[in-house]
Amino acid sequence: MPRKNKKIEFHKIEITDAGAKGKCVAKAPDGKIIFINNVVPGDVVDVQTFKKRKKFYEASVTKIHRFSDHRIEPSCEYFGSCGGCKWQNMEYSKQLFYKEKEVKNNLEKIGKIKVNELLPIKEAKKKYFYRNKMEFSFSNNRWLSYDEIQSQQQIKERNALGFHIPGMWDKILDINKCWLQEDPSNEIRNKIKEFATKNNIPFFDPKKQKGVLRTLMIRISNIGQIMVIVQFYSATKRQINDILNFIKTSLPKINSLQYVVNSKSNDTIYDQDVICFYGNDYIQEEMEGLKFRINAKSFYQTNSDQAYELYKIVRDFANLGGSELVYDLYTGTGTIAQFISKKAKKVIGVESVEDAIVAAKQNATINKIKNVEFFVGDMKSIFNNDFIKKNGTPKVIITDPPRDGMHKDVIKQILKIVPEKIVYVSCNSATQARDLEILSSKYEIIKSQAIDMFPQTHHVENVVLLKKLKQI
């Protein structure tokens, strides 16, 4: 039987901290933790619980008695409805404070490790309009606001092009202006929506699994090149041509216009054929003279400016002298490998996604880098004794795993070959701390530096330098 959660009200509760996943934290009179959205540490509020567990509650605010000194007015009109940018009601200096605090707590409490030097978090210069990639969903049944529902008026216009409402897979919040991607991103999205609505081209119906227009991806590189990818659920050749020709003629700044026809139950395009309708099938990023081609399926750090800062931290931590063999594990499209290649004798990049390795090799050729080599395969399987025997024992390992961290077999192999240095990049300091605890049997944690890749959110990246213990 489903668990029944009796709603409980707590009055004049002070928000004391910022917690995981963008939620803030308070303590209930019974000593349990309360997790609350859309508040700021220092707020004093009344709340009503909607979830009760053994050690915590989840609650929503019913009244604010006192505003925090750190609270600011959100820039975005959709704050509180949209699932992104949950911290934009908190001044930026406090966002950085809590991100640093989270990393430090995870390293100390989860990893149970002592870091010799905790460097200050690298703040972002751009607080808004910093993303180079955005994905929007079409829907024929947009999310209605409370005021719209209460008006009891018939809502005729229900098309939406925007973001999923958190926890509601079939509801899309229509967006007029998003603060995450620079112009002309908003213009592109709004013009496409207006044209499709005016010409009665059906938006996707997620419940009935029918319709024409499904998703829209916009990528804008750091040199201003623009890629637009329209995903159709089902469409006639005429509908496809009508939409794409409109985009081509009315939005001439676009360098790459592509499309996908995907009638699967999910909207991921990574197993689909992407067709180039106009221009190149890629756009280009540049960094210190290096050129990186980005295609529709490419993984690339979504904040170009901060990616550059991140790579500089990695390069500084590695402190290469020119004679080292370096392994770049979870290399992606090989951006870090190529960025540090001038300072190394040779760099070996390993990645499980074949398309990423194809892109890495292509970019290395474009950049005329000859001391890098890339291999594709499941990390825990390919990174074995035979691989090391064939390619050499690395003096330095750089690793940038997914959120789940490194596989235990990968860690085991690292501890077996014991390189002199490890530079560990992570988008999840909790799993990073878990891995560091294991590695600390043979390594000293020299320094750590967080970097803010995603202002207005709770997400934070962290870079750690490990050195082999002298007695090993």
Cβ–Cβ under 8 Å, residues 204 and 233: yes
| Residue 92 half-sphere exposure toward CB, CA atoms < 13 A | 13
CB 443, CB 469: distance < 8 Å: yes
Q: Does the annotation mark 82 as catalytic? A: no
C-alpha 59/C-alpha 72 separation (Å) is 22
Contact 135, 217 (CB under 8 A): yes
Report the Cα–Cα distance between both ends of the chain, in Å, rounded: 55
Question: In angstroms, rounded to a whole number, what is the distance separating the alpha carbons of residues 194 and 157?
Answer: 12
DSSP letter for 142, please: B
The one catalytic residue among 76, 82, 85, 427: 427
Residue with tokens 């999840």: 428
C-alpha to C-alpha distance for 264 and 209, rounded to whole angstroms: 9
Contact 319, 294 (CB under 8 A): no
Distance CA 422, CA 453 (A): 22
Q: Quickly tell me which residue has 């931590």 as its tokens.
A: 317
Task: State how far Cα 108 lies from the chain centre.
Answer: 25
Catalytic residues: 427
